[in-house]
Each structure stands twice: as C-alpha cells, then as structure tokens.
Structure 1
Amino acid sequence: MNADFIDALEQIEKEKGISKEILIDAIEAALISAYKRNYGTSQNVKVYINRETGEVRVYSAKSVEEIVEDDLLQISLEEAKEIDRNYEVGDMIEREVTPKNFGRIAAQTAKQVVVQRIREAERGIIYDEFVNKESEIVTGIIQRMSKGNVYINLGKAESILSPTEQIPGEAYNHNERIKTYIVEVKKTTKGPQILVSRTHPGLVKRLFELEVPEIHDGVVEIKSISREAGSRSKIAVYSHDENVDPVGACVGHKGVRVQTIVNELKGEKIDIIKWSENPEELIASSLSPSKVLKVIANEEEKTALVVVPDYQLSLAIGKEGQNARLAAKLTNWKIDIKSESQYNESLEI
C-alpha cells in the first residue's frame, strides 16, 4: 500500500462519512489475522500502517519473563538485556517481522475491509432513513413475488409485503406502483428489513393526511379508525374550527378526495362520520348509513342499546354483522342493535 491508498481513504471519509482512522484500525486488525493465516503462526503480532505513506509493518510482540514457557510469546530477561539493558520482566519487546511479499496480501485484505465497511455504513444509512419512516406511507414498484410475499422496490431499499398484510383478493402486478404503510424496520446482517402493510388502519389515516389539506394542517383531526381491509372502513373526524365541516373536508368537492383514496384501496368503501364527545351521538353516527331512532348508553359498562327502524335493521347490522362490528371498533363501545318492533316488544314484557 502507498500514499495513494491513504488519499483514497480520505476521499471515502469525505464522501461516505466513514472515519479514516476507523478504517485503518479495522485494516490493521484484519492484517493481523491475514498474517497469521498466511504464515501459519500463532505468535503475538501487531500491525502498524503509516498514516502518511501507507507503509505496512508487522511486529512480533513478546513479553520479557524470568522463565520462558512459550518461545512464540515470551523472551527471557537475559536475551532481552542483550537487545537493551533497560528491559525488565513484564516489558513488551516488538521486533519487525514484515515478510517481503506482505504488501500484496495487505492490499488485498485492505480492499476487502474497506468494501465491507462501506457496505455496512450504507446499510446503516438506509436503516436510519427508513426507521424514521415507520408508520408512514411509502410508494414503491412491485419487483417480484415469492412464497406469497410481495417484494417492493423503494429505491434505496426493498420492502416485504407478507401475505397477512395483503388485502384479500387484491392483485399485485409486476412493475405496478403501489402505496404501502411501513409497519416495522428491522436491522439485519443483510441490511434493513422493511415490513409494510396494505391492511393496517394507519394506511387509511395516512392517505387522508395526504389527500386532505385540513387534516395535514391539523384543522381536522382523525379521532378513530376501524377497518376491514378490502371491504369497508369507518373513520371518525373532528374539526378544531367551527367554520370547517370535517366530513365535507374529507369527502371533498363532488367526493373527489375520498374517491381518490377509495381508488387507491381498490374500491374499499369508506364511511366518514363526525366525531362527538356525546356517546349517543357518536354511536348513532357510527352505524351510518343506517338511521338510528334511539341510543341508550351505559357509560359505566360502555355498552349501548341502539334502536333502528324495522326496515333498517339488516342495514344497521350489515352483511355478516360487519357494520355493527366496525361501529363497535370505531367507538370502543359494545353495541346491541334492535329493531323498533323488538324494542317495543321488550318494553311490553
């Protein structure tokens, strides 16, 4: 190695942000192993790289002892005194043992270490970038499918959309652009593992933040979301400005804003309701699109009896109970729905 190599390390320090000293220390440590491996020795050696010229020197280090038990690691006090009268027991003596052809091995080893460290540093940068994007939306291009997993190119990294995070029945086509929600970023030996989702309620929340300026600016707040991915979502919104209608802001002119989100979710229906601190109002709204006649709430047990017109019962409950189920998740109340006839009959008993 030579001065050009040192210049190259300084350039890497500027471009990649990896300290030259850290690289040299790593190379010196690797060269010790390389020396022992190539020259079949178990002696205690040290490697020094000149920070200016790049010259590499190898030294054998031995401790000064009264009685020598291992010639490779120790030297007698008598022999040490012949080298320098000032040596005492416990001192370390270093003698240069640099082989003539060690420069080639040193250059090869140094290159491997530098490449490895650059790769590690780049992985670290990518990890730091994406770990800060957890719970955010990213747009990528579908690269491939394998064992049910969808692999998405995010530019600097690849994310994994596992079968459990895929919307039932949704098709994932090669080279198609897709928005996903980052659930978790893990640090692995092969670089960051980015786990994304299409089913997470957070995806709906972030899509509304992207599409509705009033939400992005904090004027309108998303209070609660319940979702059955691929089928239906309910979202409860609240306005901090009495002059701004939270539902209207989310729907947009002629439904443009919500329709953009529905299209992104491949036709998933979205019910937008106005949040209320009043449990009766909130529960009644949560059962949209059905009409509600009466809500009898028990705040201690967080249970509510909801009365709907007879012809609205099936709509209120929803197909396979979906509407009632989503309303319960949205409000965090246990909801029992009865038709007007059923409620009146129960009063007569």
Structure 2
Amino acid sequence: MRLRGLCLLVAPALIAQPARAQETIPLPDAAVIEQMCSSVGALQYTFGETGVPGGDRLLRTLSKGFPLPASAAPFDHAKPWSTEWSDRLFGMEYTTSAKETEDAFSEFARGLGDVLAPKGWELQPEDFDPPLYMLTLAGDQTWLRSIDTEQGPIQLVLGLSNSPLGMTLACGRGDLAEVHAREAFGDLPPGTPRPKAPEVPIPALLSEADCGKPDVAAEIARVFATESTDGFMASMVARTTYRDRLTSWMTWKLEQSGKISTEALIDLGFASIGSATPGGDPFAQFGMIQEMLELLGPVAQAEEAGDAAALCRTLVQLQDWFARVDALTLKQTEASQAAMTAEAARLGVSFD
C-alpha cells in the first residue's frame, strides 16, 4: 500500500506484515545469491560507484526500493545504500513482503549458510558484537568474507534479520560502511564544499473539514505517499536533510581548524539548541514521540479499512504533528548554526 512506508518510516515496530502461509521459505539459487552479494557489488551496481538511483538519504528514507525478479524470492525489493556525503554505494538491502515465523527463518538461514560457505563466507557466532560502523549491515545472523583489493584485504558483510515487518538481507563492504558512518557523524571528505541548503517549503496544510471532499481526501493521501519525491513526506525529509548537512559541515570545519575541542563544540550545540527550545530542553522534540505513536494506530486502521475520509482525517492530524516538530527543529537548527557562525568568527575560522 502506498502509505505503509510512512508508518515504517516513523514507527516500524508498530506495523506488522501478514504471516507467510507456508513454513518453508524459498531460497534463491547460488547464482542469484552471488549476484545479490558478490565480491565487487550487488546486482548491477559496483561497490564504490556514485550516482546509484535511490541510494541517497532522501529516497533511502522514503522508498522501499525497486522490485526484484521472481528468481530473488522470497526477497521482492532492493534498496541501495550510498555513503552520506561522498555518494558511494556501500551496500544493498533486500526485503520480503511477508512476516516469517522463527522456525521458517531458522531453516532459511541454515540453507543460506550452506550456499554461502563454498564462497568463503564465515558465519559469526551468536555473541558476535560488530563494530558500530557495521551495524547497518549486520543482522540476526551475520557472515563475513575477506576479499583482496588493490588497497589490501577488506571485508564483505552479509546480515540476515527477521522482524514483524518481514525478513531483510543486507550486503555491503565493511570499509565503505565505515566511510558512511564517519561521514554521517560529521567526518567529511577533505575539501568538502559548503553544502547548498535551499529552503524547501512545507506543502499547504489541510484541515479535517476538507476531508469530506473526495478529491481532497485523495490528494492528501497522494502527498503522504512515501514513493512520491514531491509529496509531503519527501518535503519534510528534504528540509531536515538540508539543515542537518549544513550543521554537520559547520561542525566539521570548526573541528578541522583545531581551534576548538570536541567537548566545547558539544557544549556549544546543546546550549544553543536549549536556548531556542521552550523550557530550555534540547530534547523537547523527543517528548512529542508519544503523541505521534498515538496518531499512527488510526492511520494504519483507516488505510487497512480502505476508508479514504477517515484516512484523510488521521493524516491531517499527523501532518500537523510533523509541521510542529519541523518548526521546533528549525528554530533549534538556526540557533545552533548562529552560535557556530559566531564562534567561527571569534576563532578566525572561515565558513566561506
């Protein structure tokens, strides 16, 4: 369904997929699995390749990916993952559309392991504690494979997981996953230019009174569809993305200057955010999470019932919630960036 991705985006544990009727999950043959996770890449893409469609932060957040052929069953969609700033493909996530029982999942994992072993994949023990950067790729069961490259040996990671949302298989290169993690935490590539941060307007907010009109009900469902790159959810994620990238870049520039400690930057950030928050709480937006969780249940119920008017009313309330959170985080971001700009001027650090 077009709106299911919205619920998965904001509270994935709340929305369960239907259970698969059969106990035995189909296993792709060895050739297909090798194509899904090879030493050089995933499907038609090469690890380290830039410009992979759907791999950027916006689409990675909103979309469930592109459909797979029947030969990849039980996996029916694939989602590329690219590094946060340098846009290099570091992994691919494959998903199923049905919830799997634990017994069926365990049987599938054993069969997958039998296929992987001849290719040099090694199953990690149950107490395997992956490094932080590898968490994106590791799963309930994780296999590692060492390959030789011009830069020396590197690790491929393959993680299989099961959840109420279905089963996922993540494949990627450990070194590029580490690059992604470092970039996501603000350790940017040398020479990274100041990001352009165009203002993305919030689409016009509707009222519950408008939901009696079938065309309006259909329109609000469309703008909330997570597959739409010009809809409400896309706009909200884009607004946050642009602001966060600029904040990360400014933080990185200050750190690279060597004129301010990491601890001082953290203190500066919390103080500035708190100054722009009601009650001085820099985590105030997290206090609104319970309100959002209470809104999601009726959204899912109206969607499953096919009640367009009820779905419209629940989405109007959710739209209002997102707008209020966006307004709060915008104030916090502006305060943080203003504080860093002033500190940069004091220290003689250029943000040009």
> Structures share a fold, TM > 0.5?
no
More strand by share: 1
Q: Give the number of the structure with larger relative contact order, counting CA–CA contacts within 8 Å between residues 6 or more apart.
A: 2
TM-score by length of 1: 0.22
TM-score by length of 2: 0.22
